C-alpha cells in the first residue's frame, strides 16, 4: 500500500487515512490508486463490514494536487474516478471523518461517502471556479442531491465555503463534534453499523442509493428485488431468534 495512504482494519472496520500533511492531503494519481485498492479490498473481503475515510494532521483533503495537475497528472482511476472512488463508491458503507478542510475534490470525496462526521472547525466548499476549473468529480451532480438546489448553485458559482454547523443545518453532515474527535466518533458510529446484519446493511444502502432514479410506480417492486432475499435469509432467522433469546446475533452473511 502507498505510504501516503494508510490502511488499518480492526474489528471488521477499515480505516483509510490520506497521509500527505505537507500538501494538506491533496490527491495525486498514486493516492487515487491506493484508495481504489483499499475500496476493492473493502468490497471483496467479507470480514470487513465497512470503512472510514479520513485525513492526517487535522485536515481531511484540500482536493486535487494542483502542482501535479500543472505537470499533466490527472488523479483519476479508470472505472473508479477521482481519488479512486468518486465515480464508483464501494458497495459497503463508507464514513467520512472530516477535520479541517474538505474542499474541492476533498468535498467531492466526502459527498461520495454515505455518512459524514465533521469537526466543528471543518470547512466545506467547491472553489474550483476560483481556479478556472469546475467540480467535475461529483460536486456539481451530487451536491444538489444532498443539499437544497439553490445553496448548491451558490457554492458552485461563488466558490465560497460553509462551516460544519451550516453543513449540519443543510443536512450535509450527520454529526458535528469537537475538533480532533471526528475519527473516534466515526468509529463509534461504525461499530453500531457493524453490529447489524451485513446483508441488510448492503441491501439498505443499495436501495437508498439507486431508488433516487426510480419512478413512483416502481418503488416497491424494484425494492423487493433487493429486500425479498433478505427476509428469506439465515441472518433474518438468526436476528429474530437472537431477539427472542435476548442475546447478540451471530451473523453469517447468508
SS3 215: coil
User: Which among 108, 120, 210, 245 is annotated as catalytic?
Assistant: 108
The rounded distance, in Å, linking the Cα atoms of 14 and 53 is: 9
Q: How many CB atoms lie within 10 A of CB 12?
A: 17
Cα separation, 80 vs 86, in Å, equals 6
Residues counted in the chain: 254
Let me know: does 124 contact 162? Beta carbons within 8 Å.
Answer: yes
Find, among 105, 186, 173, the residue nearest to 140 by Cα.
105
Residue 108 bears catalytic tag: yes
Q: Which residue from 133, 168, 163 is spatially nearest to 147, judged by alpha carbons?
A: 168
Distance between CA 77 and CA 84 in Å, rounded? Answer: 5
Which residue in 99, 120, 128, 225 is the catalytic one? Answer: 128
Look up residue 158 and give its three cell numbers.
Answer: 461563488
Catalytic residues: 108, 128
Amino acid at each position: 500500500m502507498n505510504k501516503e495512504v494508510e490502511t488499518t482494519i480492526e474489528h471488521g472496520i477499515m480505516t483509510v487515512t490520506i497521509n500527505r500533511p505537507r500538501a494538506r492531503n491533496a490527491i495525486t494519481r498514486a493516492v487515487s490508486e491506493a484508495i481504489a485498492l483499499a475500496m476493492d479490498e473493502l468490497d471483496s473481503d467479507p470480514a470487513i463490514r465497512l470503512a472510514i475515510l479520513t485525513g492526517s494532521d487535522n485536515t481531511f483533503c484540500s482536493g486535487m494536487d494542483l502542482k501535479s495537475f500543472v505537470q499533466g497528472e490527472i488523479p483519476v482511476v479508470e472505472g473508479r474516478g477521482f481519488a479512486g472512488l468518486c465515480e464508483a463508491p464501494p458497495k459497503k458503507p463508507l464514513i467520512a471523518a472530516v477535520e479541517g478542510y474538505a474542499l474541492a475534490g476533498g468535498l467531492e470525496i466526502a459527498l461520495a461517502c454515505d455518512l459524514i462526521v465533521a469537526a466543528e472547525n471543518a470547512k466545506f466548499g467547491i472553489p474550483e471556479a476560483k481556479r478556472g476549473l469546475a467540480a467535475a468529480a461529483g460536486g456539481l451532480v451530487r451536491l444538489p442531491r444532498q443539499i437544497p438546489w439553490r445553496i448548491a448553485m451558490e457554492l458552485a458559482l461563488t466558490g465560497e465555503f460553509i462551516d460544519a454547523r451550516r453543513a449540519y443545518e443543510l443536512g450535509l453532515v450527520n454529526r458535528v463534534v469537537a475538533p480532533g474527535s471526528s475519527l473516534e466518533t466515526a468509529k463509534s458510529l461504525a461499530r453500531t453499523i457493524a453490529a447489524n446484519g451485513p446483508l441488510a446493511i448492503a441491501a439498505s444502502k443499495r436501495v437508498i442509493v439507486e431508488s433516487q432514479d426510480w419512478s413512483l410506480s416502481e418503488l416497491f417492486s424494484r425494492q423487493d428485488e433487493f429486500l425479498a432475499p433478505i427476509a428469506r435469509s439465515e441472518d433474518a432467522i438468526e436476528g429474530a431468534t437472537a431477539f427472542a433469546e435476548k442475546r447478540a446475533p451471530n451473523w453469517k452473511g447468508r
